[in-house]
Structure 1
Amino acid sequence: MQTPEAVIFDIGNVLIEWQPERYYDSRIGAARRRDLFAAVDLHAMNERIDAGGLFRDTVYDAAAENPDWATEIRWWYDHWIGLASPRIEHSITLLRRLRGKGIPVFALTNFGDDAFAYAQTQYEFLNEFDRAYVSGRMKLTKPAPAIYAEVEADCGILPAALLFTDDRADNIETAATRGWQTHLFTGPQGWATRLVAAGLLTPQEAMP
């Protein structure tokens, strides 16, 4: 298999944990959280942000449309850093060690444009990509094939020379159909092992 010329990271659940239900459980308990998520499709709301909707406006509009849950819905914006945490430190180390060896590292993420800009003020490593492909800016979301095509066109690297990790199988499957090398992320150690197998890092460099 060809040695990758660039490595592409998803962000949510790869570099930062993204478990909104866990945050709400901690605030209102699991039973009430289940009621909230059954009454309001917060993940669909977030997908609208990922597709280009304004972060605050989209959340606050959903709150206005669901007054019984307005306070809790606004937390999605007001306490976003609580939803998008903690950092996955081993993955961040891998990103930095790849870049330290001169290997281009990109992000390909379903993320609102203004939400990503805010996240960059909270997580310094989000400023360290050689290229960041953010769905909210591109007005395309994974796993639509068009977003992968735009990455290929912009970076100019052949699909077979791209190595991509993501925690969602549907996102990985689309990349694989385009000829990308892929790794389904289930934890940083497995990703570290994959980077060693690809010849990009030594076992020592892949350690936490």
Structure 2
Amino acid sequence: MKSITSVVFDIGGVLIDWNPRHLFRKVFENEEEMEWFLTNICTYEWNVQQDGGKLFSVATAELQAKYPEYSDKIALYYGRWEEMLNGEIKGTVEIFRKLKSGGMPLYALSNWSHEAFPVAFNRYDFMKDFDGLVVSGYEKLLKPDHAIYRVLMERYKVIPSESVYIDDNKPNADAASELGFNAIHFLSPEQLREELAGLGLKV
């Protein structure tokens, strides 16, 4: 096995605890109503469209026209989206900092809207320590499309066989693996630490 020369992180769900439930638990009276709303109205797939570059205002207006009875709650999704951020995932950020202090080049490859990303970037100090970032909303490309991984590879001269890729979304991790990355499907900081150690990294 080749020695690892770079590590690539997804951000939401790996380094930052992002979840729309952090907001909508304040809005709905019970979990069942909230889950129905997030499964049928403001869905994961709908949000990913904005990660690909669609404007919040356009997406919100389209969905409100389709579901006028939920107009107020739809408006909250991006109107109060910062409340979906629930801080750093401390164990993973500790791993990040240990790798950084050891001189390992660190990159981000994230599905994130270009309208929202700057707020998260400025809120969390560790974000300034990436050696390079590729964010879907700016590229108008989305994981697991191989094209966005190739942007990372070409822009920062990342060699997949010498790189680790970490993502909490299994299809995204699988896509990285297809391109030759040492891919890790993130489940917990403890599991990540173990798998990185298995690849010879000191974490």
Tell me if both proteins adopt one fold, taking TM over 0.5 as the criterion: yes
Give the superposition deviation at 1:148.
Answer: 1.2
Give the superposition deviation at 1:195.
Answer: 2.1
2:35 alignment partner AA: R
Distance in 2 between the 1:14 and 1:118 partners? Answer: 17
Distance in 2 between the 1:192 and 1:35 partners? Answer: 35
1:81 alignment partner AA: E
Name the % identity.
28
Cα-to-partner distance string for 1:70-108 (whole Å, 9 max, x where unaligned): 221222222212212232011111111111111110011
Q: Report the CA distance shift for 1:190/1:73 in structure 2 as closer, same or farther (over 3 A).
A: same
In structure 2, stretches of 5+ residues that fail to align are none
Q: 1:4 and 2:24 equivalent? A: no
Cα-to-partner distance string for 1:117-146 (whole Å, 9 max, x where unaligned): 121122222222110110111111110111
Q: How many pairs align?
A: 202
* Counterpart residue number, 1:82: 83
Q: Report the CA distance shift for 1:63/1:87 in structure 2 as closer, same or farther (over 3 A).
A: farther
Give the superposition deviation at 1:183.
Answer: 0.9
In structure 1, stretches of 5+ residues that fail to align are none
Q: Does the Cα contact within 8 Å between 2:51 and 2:137 map onto a contact in 1? A: yes
1:135-150 mapped onto 2 (5 Å cutoff): 135-150=136-151
Q: 1:70 and 2:71 equivalent? A: yes
Q: Report the CA distance shift for 1:163/1:19 in structure 2 as closer, same or farther (over 3 A).
A: same
Q: TM-score, normalising length from structure 1?
A: 0.88
Q: Report the CA distance shift for 1:63/1:84 in structure 2 as closer, same or farther (over 3 A).
A: farther
Specify the SS of the correspondent of 2:183: strand
Cα-to-partner distance string for 1:28-85 (whole Å, 9 max, x where unaligned): 1213213423541432321111101123543355345433212212222222122122
Give the superposition deviation at 1:184.
Answer: 0.9
RMSD, aligned α-carbons: 1.9
Q: 1:99 and 2:100 equivalent? A: yes
Q: TM-score, normalising length from structure 2?
A: 0.90
* Counterpart residue number, 2:18: 18
